Structure 1
C-alpha cells in the first residue's frame, strides 16, 4: 500500500517526466548561449525501419556519448551536457546484439558549429586472438550545430557472438562533441 506522502512524490515525478526538454549549447562557463540549439538530421536508410511493412524485423540500439569509455587511462573527457562528451583520443563501447542479427549501419549524433575537423565513427570486430577487422570507418560532414548522419555498411554485418566481439569507437577534433551512435539492425 502506498501512503499519502509517497503518492505525492509519485505524482510529482510523473508530472515532471511529461515536461518537454530541449538540448541547448552551453558556453565555457556553463551558461546557455542563446540560439545555438540548431539540429540537422541527414536522412538515411535507417529511417525505413519504422515505415517497414508489418512483420519486418528492424531494430535499433542507441548508445549515448556519455556511456562510452576512454580507450586509454591518460585521456581527458568532459561532459558539457545532454549526453554529449568532448574528449581527446578515442572512446569505445562494446556492442551487444543477439546472435545472427544483421547490422545495416550506424547513425552518428554529434555537435559541430563550423569547427575544423570531424567526429569519426568506427565499428570494429575483434576475435580474441589479437586480430581485428574494420567494419566501418566514417566521419561527420555537417557543421550546423547538433546533427546526425547515417553511415551504412556495403553489405549487412552478421553478428557472430561465438567468434567475435564488436565495438563502437569514436574520435574527434578539438571543440566538437560526440553525442552517441544508434545502430540499425535486423533482428534474427
Structure 2
C-alpha cells in the first residue's frame, strides 16, 4: 500500500522553506520544505515554549545559501520517495545546533532517520531518476525557519540579532 500525500504535516516539526519557489514539480502534497526535526503530535507539544526558543535561536543564525545538487530516492516500505538533494554550506551544523539546543529545553527530535538535506518531490515514485534540466536554476536560499504544527506554518527570520540588527551567526558560510 502506498502512502497518500497529505496536504500538510500532521504533528509538530521545524522546517526551512526556500525563499523562492523551486522550479520542480511538487507532487508530495505539502509545501516545498526541508524538515529539520519532528517533535511529535501537536497536542503533546508546548508550542508557545517551542516558538519562544526557535525565535531566540533564529536571531543567532545567518540565512543559508546553496544549491540543488540533483535528484535521489529513499526506499520505504510503502514506496520510494523522490527528492531534490541540497548542497547548502552550514545546513547540517545548523540542524544539529537547533536540535541540540531544543533538546536542552525538553524538545526531542523524534525522527528515526539521519539528517539528509533534501526536499521531497513525490511519494510512491517508480522508475528511473529524471534527468536534471539544463535550464533549471540551482541556487537556493533560506531566510526563515518555520515552526509547523497541524496546518499552521509560523516563520522566524534568521540573523537579526537580539537588538534587531544583523549578527555574526554561530553557524554561517
TM over 0.5: no
- Judging by fraction of residues, say which structure has more strand: 1
Give the structure, 1 or 2, with the largest relative contact order (CA under 8 Å, sep 6 or more): 2
TM-score for the superposition, normalised by structure 2: 0.23
Which structure: larger Rg?
1
TM-score for the superposition, normalised by structure 1: 0.22
